């Protein structure tokens, strides 16, 4: 199969004969030019209902397959993804805007999710709990049933894989709702899954905006929900889930602190923090949004990170520049508004801030200094290539500023003193902390947030807990009761 972009994409629901053409379509556009790439079906609430029904119909056969067989099928998905890595990366880069090499990394990460979880398929063991000689007590780990997965637009393919791989391995079926501005890679992934042997109905994809998202999160037939996106939408999803008492995993935003201590290797800190905030044009929940820098090295840090920011090349993702465009017009406007807010609040715009004079949503790397942590640009998630640099006087003040936000997704410490770095890492209120690096961890490591950054963990073995529930079976062995 050669993957090329289709002109038109239908929903992926159940068997081919169950799937029908949509009544309406929307365009997904190239963020580098604004040109339409393809027409994509707009799912209605009825379509979501059909997808959930298809997933439920496919569930008994999928969950009763042997774990070995499920693992083999899921492993084949990883192989197919690697066979089509270049095409998938090109599609992702065009639809999302990210540089091709970053899209390639995402595709490899996607393959790794399937490969990693495939390896766990035959190791989802229960326990035997000693209750005395008259009882045999054991636990089994069972799938929830139908998993509903709502995906954002910043890592469309890899976040889909992050939820679908463990869900399928655990014996669930799934209905996935991609973001409306980046639907293509999930649709191609569904095709690859079918080729790898995933039976019809096990993985369904309903494309569109909020309407299918609302329909999915409030559907009675969904047994488990995974949502990645913004805090307000996460709240709405959680409210819907409450009405049907459906367990929910929420991966929400961040406003992550990167603390640079006076003894840090400054070259290393500048390298990682610029990668942390400018990769994917800053559209990363775990980005290094706030650099908290000791006052003794503050000016030097600002000077160096500005020089680095100004060295970035910008262009369409498919040309593989250092940075691509922001994903869509509404988001672009919101990021530009934050630049105005920062200037009005009295922060110093050191570099960037002006959109490029060309088609597409291009904003160069932007750095604000003289930022106070009370400012909106220090408190609210901008989700763009905008770094705020905040001074601090001592360790306690650094920790206080780091934790003085409503988010708690990631944080980081740069210091040559490992004892100091670890002590501080323990005091940062976040689901993950990086020491002398950024975006540490991998497929194998748990990821998620504290506070408003979310509930639950994805990735790693812990990520499986979102897709498996424990059943306790207690057996009476007391012969006196016979």
Q: Does 151 bind ligand NAD (CB under 6 A)?
A: yes
Residue placing its CB nearer to ligand NAD in the complex, 304 or 459: 459
The residue number whose beta carbon is nearest to ligand NAD equals: 213
Q: Which segments of 119-230 does DSSP mark as H helices, in order?
A: 156-169, 184-196, 210-217
- Rounded Cα distance, 196 and 204, in Å: 15
Question: Interface with ligand NAD includes 95 (CB under 6 A)?
Answer: no
Please identify, among the stretches 85-93, 247-255, 294-302, 356-364, the one whose residues bind ligand NAD according to the rule CB under 6 A. 247-255
In the sheet where 8-9 sits, what is the strand order?
8-9, 36-41, 25-29
Residues 382-401 that bind ligand NAD (CB under 6 A): 383
Q: How far is the CB of 31 from ligand NAD (least distance, A)?
A: 14
Under the binding rule (CB under 6 A), the answer on residue 150 touching ligand NAD is: yes
Give the rounded distance of the alpha carbon of 147 from its chain centre.
16
Applying CB under 6 A, does 209 fall inside the site for ligand NAD? yes
Interatomic CA distance for residues 458 and 419, integer angstroms: 29
Nearest to 195 by CA among 78, 21, 95: 78
Given the complex with ligand NAD, which of 304 and 328 has the nearer CB atom? 328
Q: Which stretch binds ligand NAD (CB under 6 A): 54-62, 114-122, 228-236, 412-420?
A: 228-236
Q: Show the CA angle centred on residue 227, arms to residues 291 and 196, nearest 5°.
A: 110
Nearer to ligand NAD, 113 or 392 (CB): 113
Return d(Cα 238, Cα 249) in angstroms, integer: 9
Please count the residues of this chain forming the interface with ligand NAD, following the rule CB under 6 A: 29
Q: What spatial distance separates the first Cα and last Cα of the chain, rounded to whole Å?
A: 62
Q: Which sequence positions are flagged as catalytic?
A: 251, 285
Q: Does 213 help bind ligand NAD (rule: CB under 6 A)? A: yes
Angle (CA) 422-426-429 rounded to 5° is 140
Closer to ligand NAD at the Cβ: 382 or 424? 382
Question: Among 118, 237, 292, 399, which residue interacts with ligand NAD (rule: CB under 6 A)?
Answer: 237
Phi, psi of 23 (to 5 degrees): -85, -30
- HSE toward the beta carbon, residue 260, CA cutoff 13 A: 30
In the complex, minimum distance from the CB of residue 211 to ligand NAD, in angstroms, rounded to a whole number:
8
Specify the residue, 391 or 432, whose C-beta has the smaller distance to ligand NAD.
432
Pairing of strands 25-29, 36-41: antiparallel
Structure token pair of residue 403:
């934790």
User: In the window 285-314, what residues touch ligand NAD (CB under 6 A)?
Assistant: 285
With CB under 6 A as the contact rule, which of the stretches 31-39, 48-56, 129-137, 227-235 interacts with ligand NAD? Answer: 227-235
| 279 binds ligand NAD per the rule CB under 6 A | no
CB closer to ligand NAD out of 5 and 230: 230
Task: Output 74 or 248, the one with its CB closest to ligand NAD.
Answer: 248
Rounded Cα distance between 274 and 289, Å, is: 10
Q: Is 251 in the site for ligand NAD (CB under 6 A)?
A: yes
Distance (Å) of CA 459 to CA 45, 293, 463: 30, 31, 5
The region of 128-136, 189-197, 213-221, 343-351 touching ligand NAD under the rule CB under 6 A is: 213-221
Sheet containing strand 366-369, edge to edge, reads 348-351, 366-369, 386-392, 290-294, 257-260, 410-414, 432-435
Is 233 a binding residue for ligand NAD by CB under 6 A? The answer is yes
Interface pick for ligand NAD out of 14, 156, 180, 276 (rule CB under 6 A): 180
Write the DSSP string, 368-407: EES--TTSHHHHS---SSEEEEEEESSHHHHHHHHH-SSE
Q: Does 431 bind ligand NAD (CB under 6 A)?
A: no
Judged by beta carbon, residue 1 or residue 210, the one nearer ligand NAD is 210
Which residue in the set 53, 110, 149, 154 belongs to the binding site for ligand NAD (CB under 6 A)? 154
User: What are the residues binding ligand NAD (CB under 6 A)?
Assistant: 150-154, 177, 179-180, 209-210, 213-214, 217, 228-230, 233, 236-237, 251-254, 285, 381, 383, 409, 449, 454
């Amino acid at each position: 199969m050669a993957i090329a972009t289709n002109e038109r994409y239908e929903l992926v629901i159940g068997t081919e004969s169950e799937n029908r053409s949509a009544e309406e379509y929307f365009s997904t556009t190239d963020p580098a030019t604004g040109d339409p790439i393809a027409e994509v079906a707009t799912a209605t609430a009825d379509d979501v209902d059909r997808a959930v029904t298809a997933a439920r119909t496919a569930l008994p056969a999928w969950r009763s397959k042997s774990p070995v067989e499920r693992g083999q099928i899921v492993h084949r998905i990883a192989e197919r993804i690697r066979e089509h890595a270049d095409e998938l990366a090109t599609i992702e880069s065009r639809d999302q805007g990210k540089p091709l090499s970053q899209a390639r990394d995402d595709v490899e990460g996607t393959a790794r999710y399937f490969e990693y979880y495939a390896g766990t398929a035959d190791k989802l063991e229960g326990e035997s709990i000693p209750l005395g000689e008259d009882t045999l007590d054991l636990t089994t780990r069972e799938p929830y049933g139908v998993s509903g997965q709502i995906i954002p637009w910043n890592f469309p393919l890899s976040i889909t894989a992050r939820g679908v791989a463990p869900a399928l391995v655990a014996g669930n079926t799934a209905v996935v709702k991609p973001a409306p501005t980046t639907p293509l890679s999930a649709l191609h992934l569904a095709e690859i899954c079918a080729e790898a042997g995933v039976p019809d109905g096990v993985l369904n994809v309903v494309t569109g905006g909020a309407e299918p998202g609302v329909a999915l999160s409030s559907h009675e037939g969904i047994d488990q929900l995974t949502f990645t996106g913004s805090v307000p939408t996460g709240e709405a999803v959680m409210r819907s889930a409450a009405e049907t008492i459906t367990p929910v995993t929420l991966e929400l935003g961040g406003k992550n602190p990167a603390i640079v201590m006076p003894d840090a290797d400054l070259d290393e800190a500048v390298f990682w923090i610029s990668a942390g905030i400018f990769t994917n044009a800053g559209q990363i929940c775990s980005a290094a949004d706030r650099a908290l820098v000791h006052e003794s090295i503050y000016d030097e840090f600002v000077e160096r990170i500005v020089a680095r920011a100004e060295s970035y090349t910008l262009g369409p993702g498919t040309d593989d520049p250092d940075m691509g465009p922001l994903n869509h017009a509404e988001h672009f406007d919101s990021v530009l508004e934050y630049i105005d807010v920062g200037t009005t609040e009295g922060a110093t715009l050191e570099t960037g801030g002006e959109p490029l004079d060309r088609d597409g949503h291009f904003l160069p790397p932007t750095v604000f200094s003289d930022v106070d942590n009370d400012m909106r640009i220090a408190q609210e998630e901008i989700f763009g290539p905008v770094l705020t640099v905040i001074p601090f006087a001592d360790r306690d003040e650094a920790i206080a500023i780091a934790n003085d936000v409503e988010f708690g997704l990631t944080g980081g410490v740069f210091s040559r003193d490992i004892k100091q770095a670890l002590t501080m890492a323990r005091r940062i209120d976040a689901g993950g902390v990086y020491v002398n690096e950024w975006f540490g961890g991998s497929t194998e490591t748990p990821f998620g947030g504290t506070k408003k950054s979310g509930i639950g963990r994805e990735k790693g073995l812990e990520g499986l807990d979102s897709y498996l529930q424990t059943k306790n079976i207690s057996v009476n062995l007391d012969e006196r009761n016979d």
